[in-house]
Structure 1
Amino acid sequence: MSMFIIPVRSPGLAHISYIFGHGGKAGVVDPRRDCQIYQDIARAHGAVITHIFETHRNEDICSGGAALARRTGAVCCHGRQLPFAFGQAVQEGDRFRFGSLEAKVLETPGHTFESISVALYDHSAGAAGASTAVAVFTGDCLFIGDVGRTDFFPGQERETATNIYESIHNKLLPLGDQTIVYPAHGAGSVCGASLSEREFSTIGHERRCNTVLQLPDKEAFIQFKMAEIHHKPQYFSKMEEYNLLGSAPDLPTLPQPAPVSAKTFMDKKSAGMQVVDIRSPEAFGGAHVPGSYCFPLDMLSAYCGYFLTFDKEIGLVIDELAQADEAVAQLYRMGYDNVTCFLSGGLPAWETAGFTYESLPSVHVDELVRRIDANEDFTLLDVRAEGEWANGLLPGATPIYLGDLERKLTTLPTDRPVTCFCGSGRRAVIAASLLLRAHIGPVENCLGSMAACMALGCRLENA
């Protein structure tokens, strides 16, 4: 059978795992929790999975390493700087054969202390191939266009920033410009600041074009990393626990929430179920179940972990069944096994059952600018990230990052309307749903938000 390297993408979390192999053996790098896909790929290539490499204890996604090892009998390999409760510790220079492919472990701390990378060599290319890396799985050390965040260890920021600099310059760049880079995340991940939309690169290209690697010297790199601002959703702690212990429940297939009537949905909500509306901002604005969170489906993984808890049921409000399936996949990969149902018939079923619904008014950017110019008394709540604020704010805006909003609700004035604002209106609708749940308002969403402002030439101020 021919050699293969196949990426497995997990939308929403921007996570990328890999399976590679040759000669009837396969290895998996950073598997996700719903791990049957790797067995299917291996079988299609006439291979069995013998080794699993987890480049670090992931914070943002529930790993499938322990589950895949139980299913296949493969050895799950981890960096030696953490006491994982399963698998085996590996160290610098450990080698594993997969037919003509050889995987070599590189210890690349920085993102975390136990981080490893895995370089691949092709022995079928002769002596040169055996000593020249063809590819490297970099985990969260080196991304395409960025490097991994180094802020997980308070008080040790200089040490971790120094570690990742040395890992990149002493371990990864020396692999050679020809080496293909396979990172654990793509654009949209919370594990870096400026990841490229492109998912393919080489060491040579990153050496020349990665903006972080263009900093003039080691100290400039360290200062840059120490100055970065990242956020840590509350669900990260659960992922760290699961991934260290390998204790996440192993389900053979993704859960399938049951369709329930409006009456049953209402009863569950009254008993404490978390209602998650994954429809568009426009649909949520038209009518929604009171007290529900709104996470448009493409925003679900990025923000739900700041607000949803693991100890209560989750019920979905959807437009079509495919949305429920995708939402369940994303939530399951984040450890949320408690998605039990969805509202059968959607909002029309809720409405025709006679239950109360709420609406969320929207405001056009032109009207927003008119209010600002007229100095009207309202709160313009900008929930974008700090890096976006640096490019300008609307006059009088109150900037609060969306992930921090719930714990800062008490800082908002309660005697005036609140207009939620972001880059397009999709994060703003999440913010608006939080305000509605907290009975702060009246609330509205600026659909289009900063994108519309840019199109119309709104006046901005420095942050």
Structure 2
Amino acid sequence: MRIETIKSDGVAHLSYMVIDGNAAAVIDPRRDVDVYLQVARREGANITHVFETHRNEDYVVGSRSLAAVTGAEVFHGRGGQVDHARPVEEGESFDIGKARLTVLETPGHTFDSISLTLADRNFSEAPVAVFTGDTLFIGDVGRTDFYPDRREEMAEKLYDSLFGKLLPLGDGVQLYPAHGAGSVCGGGMADREFSTLGYERRFNPRLQLEREAFIRAKSGEHHYQPPYFRRMETLNDRGVEPDALPRPAALPPGPFGERRDEGLTVLDLRTPEAFCGAHIPGSLSMPTAVAPGYIGWLVSYETPLGLVLDDDADLDRALRELYRLGYDRVEAYLTPGMTAWEASGADYGVVPTVSAATLKQRYAQGDDFLLLDVRAIDEYQAGHLPDATHIYLGHLADRLEELPRDVPIVTFCGSGKRAAVAASLLTRHGFTRVENCLGSMAACQAVGCRIVD
């Protein structure tokens, strides 16, 4: 009997396979399901059960695709029936060899949230592990803001699920959540992927709160809901048909430029440093580290996409990460990259960069510029540079008219990645005096910039 963890970078998604003998179950599969088929073949197992712990908002699930190619049955909590799955309720059990998965209804993050306990029937019916979906994370608990007019009710449900269902399973029970650090589904997750219920009971900050304090804290949390969440919900309600990854054309500079002129949206997935040094005019900087959290705010699902990469070898990973977010219209990529574009004689753009030390000096000299801080509101409120203008990156495209065009604008975030996205968005819309502060807040703290709250 074994548990296989499949991690999807970008969205920080964790899915699992429970395997015993020649039987296997998959919990919360991602859209590109080939990884589960490969593991099953390697282990000589058949995938017979697929479980969804809730309707996901941040990525496309692969349950329907996996069922189509394996014949497995799909199961989903009865609190939110979906077209492609059979609803399950509290206490239902499913045997995977000698492993037994049992349903716990754990609403709070969503009404349909379930958790699955795992027992090893070779020894006991008592649970040895629990798969908690988005109800309990390592270092945090699930969001409760998807029903804005019912925040308090959802916080109450989450508390009852945590303290009435999960923690009583026992301190030694291993914890397997559906997301890790970096996910948009929580803000304080630990940067590790192993824990127990006992450890979380003692050290998870949210689990230290009494009931009323917990409800107040969760009801008052601020989370952003990218527009693409609604598309994910629609796709995941009905389940996506099995399909293959996009097969974009490899285009040299001339044809790639022609496609851009015809309406291709160019996504530059390289580092901020590379983008600022030279980029295709009109392209949107979208470093892979921040793309899952922000592409849905800035890029339409209807537009054809062309990619610029650091290396052609990065293409498969980029396609998979976009595919999991529902972006299927990737039609081209530039080969062999920006070096070829530059060598072709085609025009290219640059974004001047500003070091934290230079920024500190500009403040001391009283230079005339606008510092545009595009971090989340909680980051901004925890500390920002004096007189900074705060506009969350996801909202920037709708608030460009608030920014002046006659003074330099320095884009700023936590490290410079989101600032690069903001700088590219500004230049696409005709702002000509744009600079990016590489390192941003991390660098400013290192050099002793004045920070206010």
TM-score higher than 0.5: yes
Residue 274 of structure 1 corresponds to: 265
Q: Say whether the 8 Å CA contact 1:416–1:441 is kept in structure 2.
A: no
Q: Distance in 1 between matches of 2:228 and 2:104?
A: 29
Greater mean alpha carbon deviation, residues 111-120 or residues 409-418: 409-418
Residue 67 of structure 2 corresponds to: 69
Matches for 1:416-435 after TM superposition, within 5 Å: 416-435=407-426
User: How big is the shift at 1:296?
Assistant: 1.4
Q: Say whether the 8 Å CA contact 1:300–1:327 is kept in structure 2.
A: no
Unaligned runs of 5+ in 1: none
Matches for 1:281-430 after TM superposition, within 5 Å: 281-430=272-421
Which residue among 159, 175, 187 is the counterpart of 2:169?
Answer: 175
Residue 208 of structure 2 corresponds to: 214
SS at match of 1:434: helix
Q: Distance in 2 between matches of 1:391 and 1:416?
A: 27
Which residue among 230, 235, 250 is the counterpart of 1:237?
Answer: 230
Residue 77 of structure 2 corresponds to: 79
Residue 141 of structure 1 corresponds to: 135
User: How big is the shift at 1:124?
Assistant: 0.3
SS at match of 1:19: strand
User: How big is the shift at 1:175?
Assistant: 0.7
Residue 446 of structure 2 corresponds to: 455
Q: Distance in 2 between matches of 1:385 and 1:285?
A: 23
Greater mean alpha carbon deviation, residues 368-377 or residues 195-204: 368-377
Cα deviation per residue 1:260-279 (whole Å; 9 max; x = unaligned)? 02121112112211100011
Alpha carbon RMSD of aligned pairs, Å? 1.2
Q: Say whether the 8 Å CA contact 2:270–2:287 is kept in structure 1.
A: yes
Letter in 1 for 2:26: V
Q: Say whether the 8 Å CA contact 1:418–1:441 is kept in structure 2.
A: no
Residue 196 of structure 1 corresponds to: 190
Greater mean alpha carbon deviation, residues 139-148 or residues 256-265: 256-265
Q: Distance in 1 between matches of 2:444 and 2:298?
A: 29
Cα deviation per residue 1:43-63 (whole Å; 9 max; x = unaligned)? 222211111000011000100
Which residue among 115, 118, 130 is the counterpart of 1:117?
Answer: 115
User: TM (normalized to structure 1)?
Assistant: 0.96
SS at match of 2:255: helix
Greater mean alpha carbon deviation, residues 387-396 or residues 14-23: 387-396
Cα deviation per residue 1:343-364 (whole Å; 9 max; x = unaligned)? 1122232233332211000011
User: How big is the shift at 1:448?
Assistant: 1.3
Q: Say whether the 8 Å CA contact 2:279–2:350 is kept in structure 1.
A: yes
Aligned residues: 453
Q: Say whether the 8 Å CA contact 1:179–1:203 is kept in structure 2.
A: yes
Q: Distance in 1 between matches of 2:21 and 2:272?
A: 50
- Answer yes or no: is 1:10 the counterpart of 2:8: yes
Q: Distance in 2 between matches of 1:207 and 1:142?
A: 11
Q: Say whether the 8 Å CA contact 1:255–1:328 is kept in structure 2.
A: yes
Letter in 2 for 1:430: V
Cα deviation per residue 1:308-337 (whole Å; 9 max; x = unaligned)? 111111100112112222111100011111
Q: Say whether the 8 Å CA contact 1:186–1:195 is kept in structure 2.
A: yes
Cα deviation per residue 1:158-191 (whole Å; 9 max; x = unaligned)? 1111111111111101111111000000000000
Q: Distance in 2 between matches of 1:171 and 1:272?
A: 52
Q: Distance in 1 between matches of 2:317 and 2:24?
A: 28
Q: Distance in 1 between matches of 2:437 and 2:414?
A: 10
Q: Which stretches of structure 1, 4 residues or longer, exceed 6 Å deviation after superposition?
A: none
Identity %: 50
SS at match of 2:79: coil
Q: Distance in 1 between matches of 2:308 and 2:135?
A: 38
Which residue among 26, 44, 47 is the counterpart of 2:45?
Answer: 47
User: TM (normalized to structure 2)?
Assistant: 0.98
Q: Say whether the 8 Å CA contact 1:92–1:107 is kept in structure 2.
A: yes
SS at match of 1:332: helix
Residue 438 of structure 1 corresponds to: 429
Unaligned runs of 5+ in 2: none
Q: Say whether the 8 Å CA contact 2:278–2:349 is kept in structure 1.
A: yes
- Answer yes or no: is 1:161 the counterpart of 2:155: yes
